[in-house]
Amino acid sequence: MQYSAKNTISISISFVHTAISKVPLEPDVIDRLLYSSRIPRHLLQESHTRVSLTQYSKLITALMIASDDELLGHSNKPLPIGSLSLLTHWLVSANTMEQVINRLVRFYQILGKGLDIKQHVEKELFHIEIGNMHHQQDSDTFIAEFSFFCIHRILCWLRKEIIPIDQLSFPFLEPSYARDYRPMFYGAPVSFDSSHIKMSFSRELLRKPIQQNLTSLQSFLKDPITELLILNFNTENWASKVGNEIRDKLDALPTLPDLAQIMKIKPYTLQRRLADEGTTYLAIKNQIKRDAAIEMLVQTNQSIEDISTKLGFAETSPFTRTFKQWTGVPPSAYRKYHI
């Protein structure tokens, strides 16, 4: 497989832990699925390890198929394979986003399992809430993260745009990997230790029309989990603009003043706009380098020396030290686990 800089975001190994924590499969089956997804169990022992979206997508899809449960044991009753297909076929025939939301809620009411979804409008916002009728409290983390991720990405896919989330509320304490929520939910504000599992949007969204059709749905359903994970429309936030600008310049990244000149903006203005989004140029550079390194180590046969050069490191040793800081293991060990 050829390395592509596009969609090389990585996520914390904690998401893998949560995904396999309740799946009704024997340990040896889970081990085989982890290995086939190029995530051997050895990596689960390293709390700072990260996996690429490709690895995670393969694992989630494999777990769903093997268990015949699209919620991986986190619901009181299995949600059979094909439920997502049925849901999206119904949603794509709607005319407006309001119809989509109504059908989403009604789908799980008719099914009587899976998700306990409610909606309500409050002034200029509408809220989607998940109750615990169909799952136990100890599944709140997976249900909240995975369900809201999928619901939001499906809404974005239907509209062919990144729909801004006004607020996300989770009932659990802030996890150590909470920074990964930023790429997952496109920078949405998140609150923890809330009394509700709730996702809020502008009420204006309800009036907007659907932009997809049955033809595009067929393509989407060939690999829906991957499609949702790598969903990426042109977005106007400055972190994305910076990322897109430097993603193919990793061997010689521009300085902030040089980047500002390329983007035709004053350096202090660019710095301030990134700060307003809760990030910095240094953080974006490190994230893109880290995720590109993981992708190349897993998906290509390039030597570690070549990878370090492509990422702008003068020698292999500083790359090795930096990669270990990023993931908890050196690049040679990370690659060894994936052979």
**pLDDT above 70 for 235:** no
pTM (predicted TM-score): 0.76
- With pLDDT > 70 as the criterion, what percentage of the chain qualifies? 95
Q: What integer pLDDT is reported at residue 119 of this predicted model?
A: 93
Q: Which pLDDT value is given to residue 1?
A: 31
Domains of the chain from N-terminus onward? 77-229 (no CATH), 238-336 (1.10.10.60)
Q: Which amino acid is at 270?
A: L
Q: pLDDT, tens digit, for every residue of 242-275? A: 988 888 888 889 999 999 999 999 999 999 988 8
**Rounded to 5 degrees, what are φ and ψ at 317?**
-60, -45
What's the average model confidence in pLDDT over 74-88?
93
pLDDT in tens, 99-147: 999 999 999 999 888 888 999 998 899 999 998 876 777 778 888 999 9
Give me the residue label for tokens 């990030």.
279
Cα end-to-end span (Å), the chain: 14
